[in-house]
Structure 1
Amino acid sequence: MSLKLALEQLGFGPCYHMEAVFNDLEKRVPQWNDALAGRPDWGKTFEGFDSGVDWPIAGFYEELYAAYPEAKFILSTRSPDSWAASFGATIAKLLEERGMAAEPMKPWLEMAYGVIARSGFPGGLSDAERMARFEAHNEAVKQTIPAGQLLVFEVKQGWEPLCRFLAVDVPQGPFPRTNDRAEFWDLVSGGQ
């Protein structure tokens, strides 16, 4: 979410994020199910958006590079142990409990599970397995996207590397910092 807000502040918005799926389940879940089935319509999926971050997008970096070979890609990363702990306490927990979700949420959760499992993170992984797969995913992205089109980025680096990569001026003010665990649970529970 921090990177989404940063890209929008830099003029690369609106920025597609899982939040866009969550906010329009009826339209967007079928689009991602089509992508999972090998029938994406990227033009329709990203209509009205100038950039995109997060899952489900991250699960299709190879297909998106093939469809948009001149695009710039940002691999947002952090320490594997920090990522595994956060993923385990949020996304993995939510998806493991998807069978108990309210009926309107189930198609979204099944699609999200499919995308995330396809990305190498099926349910039931230990933190050690998550960390290893996180590192493998990052390496696969680096092997797929040409170095000149890829920024390996940690949010804690702030504006400088992102703005240099995107060839834009560094804005005034701090880099956006958001998307903590409480915000995640707020989003998926509808703010209740």
Structure 2
Amino acid sequence: MDVIGAGFGRTGTRSLKAALELLGFGPCYHMSAVIAEPYRVRQWLDVGEGRSQDWDTVFAGFRSALDWPASAYWRELAAYYPDAKVILTVRDPARWYDSVSATIFRSALDQRRPSLRRRAIRRLVSWRSPDFALYPRMARATFIDRVFDGRVGDRDHVIEVFERHVAEVKAAIPGDRLLVFEAGEGWEPLCAFLGVPVPEVPYPRANERADFRRKRPRRLLRLIVRGR
């Protein structure tokens, strides 16, 4: 593992994933890998519920890791991979909350108050993809409850957790090992930190909120139809 992402989801992690892979630090582990390969849900459920922390198995074949659930274990990963550099992605806390509450946290809250349609979809997914059906439980165990005490609908609490998290990472990781990074800063600070040349292409820009809304229905349909 060369790079560990300590930033929360919705802090530019999808763009950074693309950037790291362009720079040769891929494949990069991201929540999208968990969704694309549902057997990984069970791996993280074992981590979240205390049965296993076999990081070499979880990250086999990957050179970097970002986003939840991996970033919820930044302390453990930084200790386990002592030569890896750490990138803390950040953004304005209020804007971050607006983004995460409309995507990841909205899904978590919907699970608590499922509509008839959502219950029907849940049954179909459970039948066709038992591993992916465990995703809500995994999310709660690894970051919804672990990081936010389950209070993802409490704006003030969530922003306080975000700001405390940033401070804790800065305090725990030595400056020469840590980059605090916003996607808008582009290639220069990232490449300088990693010791690689700046590419002759624009820094990747992924609209994570739009991607989430567009791709989520497709994922569910694929799971129902194909059983993946």
Matching residue within 31, 46, 58 for 2:43: 31
Q: Give the residue type in structure 2 aligned to 1:159.
A: W
Identical-pair percentage: 42
Matching residue within 18, 22, 33 for 1:20: 33
- Pairs within 5 Å for 1:88-99: 88-98=101-111
Q: What is the TM-score of this pair, normalised by structure 2? A: 0.79
Q: Give the residue type in structure 1 aligned to 2:206.
A: T
Residues 14-46 of structure 1: per-residue CA shift (max 9 Å, x gap): 100000000111x21121112113321100000
For 1:120 and 1:144, the matched residues in 2 are separated by 20
Unmatched segments (≥5 aa) in structure 1: none
Higher-Rg member (1/2): 2
Provide the residue aligned with 1:149 in structure 2: 177
For 1:83 and 1:124, the matched residues in 2 are separated by 13
Does 1:41 pair with 2:41?
no
Would the alpha carbon gap of residues 45 and 147 (structure 1) be closer, same or farther in structure 2, given more than 3 Å must change? same
Unmatched segments (≥5 aa) in structure 2: 1-13, 222-228
Does 1:87 pair with 2:100?
yes
Would the alpha carbon gap of residues 121 and 15 (structure 1) be closer, same or farther in structure 2, given more than 3 Å must change? farther
Q: What is the TM-score of this pair, normalised by structure 1? A: 0.92
Runs of 4 or more above 4 Å deviation: none
Q: Give the residue type in structure 2 aligned to 1:52.
A: A
- Pairs within 5 Å for 1:79-158: 79-98=92-111, 100=114, 101=118, 102=122, 103=126, 104=129, 105-116=132-143, 117-120=145-148, 122-158=150-186
Provide the residue aligned with 1:189 in structure 2: 217
Provide the residue aligned with 2:70 in structure 1: 57
